[in-house]
Chain A
């Protein structure tokens, strides 16, 4: 099984270890992982800013680069949503490209959904002694319906106890460019979310989306909270020896 990894720009730039964790998990499934070099960004910043032309310009080469593979996996709910839901909409006036976008959409999965779908009982070999809270990104939860899969995967990590967040379905306030366009409101939303994380008693917070995690981790750090923040893949791959998001590098 060959799997193309669309690593997503935030993982590429800010959290490569989450990308390598995804590779490790996919390889444990027996997949051959390919990272097509033509990838940069899925175009969401342009799309959500109303610049549909730029979004299409970024989408076309990506559709060409990824559409060739039988399986495309993305360690981000929001970028998966872009590929799966929004690419076909973006090209509704261009039948040829729409058909290509639909093909790509059908082959693309968010990482945890792919792992839950293809993984057996023994591909996760990780342990973590402590409580872990899962934060669902809005796109994973509502656009893709990914909710049970990450929890089922976390249940396979030995020693790990899952806790749920209060008001879990509320957005963390990241929202791509929203967090810099409306910093007051975004700040208030992430403050509420971080309070819920702190109140949950979790030792770790995980999510499938680095955007949410940088936002919430940044706030937890500002609060002085000891909760550590990782991408879901890092915990599943047993890579919690890497400094958590926003944590100092090890000397």
Chain B
């Protein structure tokens, strides 16, 4: 996917004026926040689990090489294969090779954010394979030819009416229509259409929420069961996983699972939590003949030990999106790449480059709510500011902003001059306000006055008045 993060301002402007999108976002936002709060209030041990989860991730990251090797050895011991990919291209090549060797035609895909990151669908389609997204949300955006707008609810930006319209166009032959008005009707239709795809697919691709070093298992959590069908019915199962997903053992997974579902959807656990370990055994009546894990780096090994190290604790729950006032206002597409919201504003510049992703870390008030709700206590505001630091150091900040900052700093560094200059400016402003106490619009401040009045200063600065008051 070609990123449009550089155009965030325009994207956001369009999103704010898109009535249908705003309807969909308004519906989604409150639900996620309330459900999470109820789930966490219902578990007194949540904060203890949060600390334990952070410790698990910190420990694993500090020994990431060991644990990855251990995981690899265990996958191989259970009859599976591990493929290492430094780049999205290498990861796609690995997937294509597996599909070709299996003489595959159709690929059923479970939801995978790493899959989006490496654009595996595009690669598969370009190589002539038919790819079907099987998560309902992913399927909806696949047939709409759009990227996901949320990491756990990819079609959160679509209204029921829009989805029904998409289905009508794609599924229904002329003269053969079924009513598609209610949510059950829409879901049932997708179930019917996708069931046939599952049964006809040669390869199933899923993501992984965790990798277990102890057993060589890969873990997925879903509510629909599509991931399990994708991993069970086709002849070949490919797991796409980024390298930071590994945890030491099954007990560690239990801690993180308690945090994940509550933070994501407010559930105690999702309908299906599945641990896959290798291909079908000699006497198994079902399951795939081949089991592959593609381990994707894509810049993560460079994040390790650096300024963004703690981002590697992220378990992709989406809580930071759901609680972000900027995400809630503009939705996911405005961010212009795979990962939106605060976690996306940290990851995007690292994965597509700071030049492209520059606006995202700036599009935040650093209000800190993301860090507050993050089950992994990731200091997202600190990392957003770190991006800004590097942007400034690399002179990527727009000249106008640099110039304004330099001019302001010139005065701020000189208290005496600052006091005289600011006093004149404030008196002038006060005069201009003409006793109204505020400006409805002002030259050079349209950005402010477009949405709100600008309160006028009271007349003189505090420092000047204080000096006067202290005069004997």
Contacts and interface: CB of A to CB of B under 8 A. Distances in A.
Interface string A113-135: 00000000000000000000000
Contacts, number: 194
B330 A185 contact: yes
A41 B415 CA distance: 9
Contact of A180 (B12, B364, B413, B448): B448
A68 interface: no
Interface stretch (B48-56, B158-166, B338-346, B401-409): B401-409
B458 interface: yes
A16 B409 CA distance: 22
Interface stretch (A98-106, A150-158, A199-207, A212-220): A212-220
Contact of A184 (B16, B446, B466): B16
A142 B405 contact: no
Contacts of A7: 462-463, 466
B405 A14 contact: no
Main SS of the interface on chain B? helix
Interface string B269-308: 0000000000000000000000000000000000000000
Contact of A13 (B365, B409, B457): B457
Contacts of B461: 12-13, 16
Interface residues of A, number: 70
A22 B451 CA distance: 30
B258 to A, nearest CB: 24
A186 B451 CA distance: 8
A214 B390 CA distance: 31
Most central of A12, A142, A222 by chain B CB within 10 Å: A12
A245 interface: yes
Most central of B326, B366, B438, B461 by chain A CB within 10 Å: B366
A73 interface: no
B415 A37 contact: yes
Contacts of B447: 179-181, 183
Interface in B331-388: 362-369, 371-372, 382, 385, 387-388
B405 A187 contact: no
Nearest to B393: A50
Contact of A57 (B408, B409, B436, B463): B409
B385 A185 contact: no
A67 interface: no
Nearest to B386: A50
Given A138-B368, A142-B367, A20 B462 contact: yes
Interface string A157-180: 000000000000111011111111
